[in-house]
Structure 1
Amino acid sequence: MRAEWGASFTVLSPRALERLLPRVGGWTGVEDPSRYDGRRHPPLLGAQRLSVTNVSPFASGALATALEVVESVGVAAIHNRIAETAERLITGLVEAGVTVLSPTRRGDRAGIVVARTPSGSGSSATDRLADAGITVTGHGPDRVRFSVHATTAPDAIDATVEVMANTP
């Protein structure tokens, strides 16, 4: 949702809550969290045991704003926009001779596109993309991961394809 700080919430059924165990320890998910005695404190009951830290009011505000945007346009519109943007990126990369490694069929993918760069040029591609103002994640020596959003502009996709097509 791009709401900053990774703010989120979840709703759990009693059955899910019963089965989920805390895997990432958080000081707010245990009994007596401010008692610093060097001992392991038992987890709280209920969903609070999954808490990692206190809620940031800034992150909560950003999440609320993001939820308002989703509500104003609808999930289906966001889904379609991401699918169309991913399609534009995939089509552009394929036409430019760049190998797309992630699923290309609309029903088999989300907004993540992974492409192969020329052998050993992953860091060159990520550097060149960064110079063009495009943020990506390098995966190994020859792969780049793109994450399109509903707000990704068509000119950003065109610039991405141009950089990838011209990466040595």
Structure 2
Amino acid sequence: MGNNVASVVFCGASFGIVDEDDDGEQPGLQRFDAADGTSKEESEDAFLTEFTSLLQNGGLSVKKHDGDTSKKRLLKLDQDGETLTWGVKASKASSSKHKIDKQDAPFKLRSIVKITRGAFPGKASTKKKAKRCFSIESESGNIYCIETKDSETRDILADGFELMLRKSPNRI
């Protein structure tokens, strides 16, 4: 694992954002044992601050599943704090093969209605793969199927999005 660059406590456990992993993906998330008596509210606020910062300052590498294909994408939160985008690494972005399709279009955080952990709706999956997956459902009916590198990262991402939805002042 890479070097630990940040660590926060959330719901009795602490999470660290790590820079690069052995596979060169950036950045990852790792769970650590909580060491202090931080309140749940303080833990959630600290985690949400780190999670938002991670998404705004570099994003997180994920696999985005569309139909029968999966694409590596960089899930980022725009500096407006409201728009989620699907980026590609610089080398792929300049490739003539890369085209932004409808499912790669940015979407508003406030349009999210549900976060679901596990296998994607209507898709067969192994238990191991299902533990790395979650879906984001928007009010327009779009379902963004996301696979992470491991179950721990999936849980942290899903927790982060659920907190964003619950604590966002811009919710409808």
When normalised by structure 1's length, the TM-score is: 0.25
Q: Name which structure has the greater RCO, CA cutoff 8 Å, separation 6+.
A: 1
When normalised by structure 2's length, the TM-score is: 0.25
Q: Which has the larger radius of gyration?
A: 1
Structure holding more strand per residue: 2
